[in-house]
Amino acid sequence: MAKPIAQQQGKFGRISRVLKAGLVALLGFGCTAQVAQAQVGVVSGASASNVVTVSWPEKPLRLVVPFVTGGAADSAARILAPVLHKKLGQSVIVENRPGAGAAIGTAAVAAARPDGYTLLMGSASNAIGNLLYKNLPYVFARDLEPVLLVAEVPGVMVVPRSLPVQDLASFIAYAKAHPGEVTYGSPGVGTSVHLAGELLESMTGVTMLHVPYKGAAPAMTDLLGARLQVMFPALSAAQMHIKAGALRVLAVTTAQRSALAPEIPTIAELGLPGYEVGGWIGVFAPAGLDTNISARLQTVLAETLKEPEILQTFLSAGIEPTPETSQVLRARVQADATRWAKLIQMKRIELQ
């Protein structure tokens, strides 16, 4: 019945309006993006878009962080959540779903409805998950849609104060004198913190033992207890311990010195030109998100990140807000996947 009515919409416009009213009454006015999209057959595309824009959000949003609490992505999510609540008029619930190098939380978002109510606070780790894990239930570039690049997250190379090294050169000498005995931790296989160690090994010839954890926080605990000898965490996760004197920072992992800590040299300038591991944080949604919802999210997030108070909170946490469009974030994901594929193949990092 619907098909003939749709074909004769000009002739039976009154019938079409009645059907639309019936759908709205039955399902609830624009209760989700899917409901609004379902109405396209009986209203014009412009009208459907307006329904989506007006109706979203009508319930709390879930912002999934695929790591345990305490890391840069988690910090960013918790800084943004209360502000987004005020701007959107709905609560934003931060949900930590760690494990498998960010794959568990990412899979949950990829499987969610693309209605704007489930989002992912992704990171550089997401760009390479499909290179490392054989049976992931998603393809990140296909099943997750970039919304906004939120921030850059400089990494640092840190060691416990008890380790008898003072700088990068003495660390390399120490590692070569103790092959296979130096351990470094990360939030999981395939995270940027893990690959930072793999890259150092490949460029210096040292042999270290990688110990994966379910998040940056437990790895940091073992580093502070000298059960690990080195780590390459985000500056945001290490700066408190650096200031307290518990950790010695040897270098930043980015290509350039960080504006957040300009006194710390880069690994590249200390004798390893070409060394670069840069972290980032971005918001993603399940593929198929309505363009109106995506546009509103981008606008609200970008405006929030430019507010002086929020900017300062991010900087104090060791995170540098760099709001960029979904196109920039997509390009970043693709570039990281291409770059790290070479190291993964060269190092023969085992697929899980």
What DSSP string describes 293-314? HHHHHHHHHHHHHTSHHHHHHH
More confident residue, 51 or 325: 325
Alpha helix segments (H runs only) across the chain:
2-7, 13-27, 33-38, 45-55, 72-88, 103-110, 129-132, 140-143, 168-177, 192-204, 216-224, 235-243, 291-305, 308-316, 326-347
Q: Give the global pTM.
A: 0.76
- List the CATH code of the domain at 63-352: 3.40.190.10
Q: So what's the pLDDT on residue 345?
A: 87
Task: Break the chain into its structural domains and give their ranges.
Answer: 2-55, 63-352
Which tens digit of pLDDT belongs to each residue from 255-299? 899 989 999 999 999 999 999 998 899 999 999 999 999 999 999
348 has a pLDDT exceeding 90: no
